[in-house]
Amino acid sequence: MKMHLPIVIVLFGFLLSACSSLENAAQISDDLTIDSGLTRSNDSAAVSVEVTPLNLDQPSATTLDFSVVLNTHSVDLRYDLATIAVLRADNGEEVTALKWDGPTDGGHHVRGVLSFPKFNASTQSVMLVLRDIAGVSERIFEWRLTS
């Protein structure tokens, strides 16, 4: 039993480290905070979709990029997300995707980056909308930004 104690201590240290990293993820710069974490998810019609913004906190970024992960055990994920995605701002502006760098040939586990042009005006929130995945008309992922 005593031989397991060092392993438990090391694992506990990793857990504490991971938790503090998650707490810091909500505060991504002095100028911009994304409320309650970054990743948003939607589980509908046997497909799980997770979306994480990659650079909403970077004013110098030339595009707005989102990591997108789709998982299922029963649906063929044959989608070009650039053709079914829009990004909306709270000021009414809406932009279509510039590119999807993930696979479009199907499968059950799909991962890639979805890129959008930046908005012309400042915004307090953004909403990523993915349309018609596995028969779900819209999957909506939203982030509120504060400065």
* pLDDT tens figures, 36-55: 479 999 999 999 999 999 99
The mean predicted confidence, pLDDT, of the chain is 80
- pLDDT, residue 34, reads 41
Whether 19 maps to a domain, the answer reads no
CA 139, CA 50: separation in Å to the nearest integer?
10
Whether 15 maps to a domain, the answer reads no
CA 87, CA 94: separation in Å to the nearest integer?
6
Whether 7 maps to a domain, the answer reads no
Whether 45 maps to a domain, the answer reads yes
- pLDDT, residue 4, reads 52
Whether 11 maps to a domain, the answer reads no
pTM, two decimal places: 0.73
Whether 104 maps to a domain, the answer reads yes
Smallest CA-to-CA distance from 143 within 119, 125, 116 is with 125
* pLDDT tens figures, 69-105: 999 999 999 999 999 999 999 999 999 999 999 999 8
- pLDDT, residue 147, reads 60
Note down the domain range covering 124: 30-146
* pLDDT tens figures, 129-142: 999 999 999 999 99
Q: How many domains does the chain have?
A: 1
Q: Cβ(111)–Cβ(69) under 8 Å?
A: yes
DSSP code at position 12? H
Give how far Cα 144 sits from Cα of 26, 77, 81, 104, Å. 11, 29, 23, 30
CATH number at residue 65: 2.60.40.3340
Whether 20 maps to a domain, the answer reads no
* Strands, E assignment, the chain: 33-34, 40-44, 47-53, 63-72, 85-89, 94-96, 99-100, 109-117, 125-133, 136-146
- pLDDT, residue 121, reads 85
47-53: strand order across its sheet: 40-44, 47-53, 63-72, 109-117, 99-100
Region 121-125 average pLDDT: 88
- pLDDT, residue 111, reads 95
Whether 13 maps to a domain, the answer reads no
